[in-house]
Amino acid sequence: MELFARAVEAAMRDAGVDRATLVGHSMGTPVALTFLRLYPEKTAGLVVVDALIPLPPKDDAEREKVDAMLTARAKAFRAPDYQVPMRQLLDSMFTAQTAASLRDQIRSKMLSTPQHVAASAMEGMVAMMEQYRQGFRYPGPALVVLAKRPNRSGPTYEAYLRTLFPNLRSYQEWEGAGHFLMMEQPERFNAALLDFLKR
Q: What is the pLDDT of residues 103-161, one digit of tens each?
A: 999 999 999 999 999 999 999 988 888 888 888 899 999 999 999 987 676 788 999 99
**Domains plus CATH for the chain?**
7-198 (3.40.50.1820)
Q: What is the pLDDT of residue 136?
A: 86
Averaged over 65-91, what is the pLDDT? 93
Q: What is the pLDDT of residue 135?
A: 80
What gap in Å lies between CA 122 and CA 9, rounded to an integer? 21
Q: Which three-class secondary structure state does DSSP give residue 171?
A: strand
Q: Taking all residues of the chain, what is their mean pLDDT, rounded to a whole number?
A: 93
What gap in Å lies between CA 57 and CA 65, rounded to an integer? 10
Please state the pTM of the whole predicted model: 0.92
Q: What is the pLDDT of residue 97?
A: 86
Burial 15-52 (b: 16+ CB within 10 A, else e): eeeeebbbbbbbbbbbbbbbbbeebeebbebbbbbbbe
Residue 43, beta-bridge partner list: 20
Q: What is the pLDDT of residue 161?
A: 94
Q: What is the pLDDT of residues 35-76, one digit of tens each?
A: 999 999 999 999 999 998 888 888 999 989 988 998 999 999
User: What is the pLDDT confidence band of residue 162, given thresholds at 50, 70 and 90?
Assistant: very high
What gap in Å lies between CA 25 and CA 118, rounded to an integer? 16
Q: What is the pLDDT of residue 176?
A: 86
Averaged over 27-37, what is the pLDDT? 94
What gap in Å lies between CA 48 and CA 82, rounded to an integer? 28
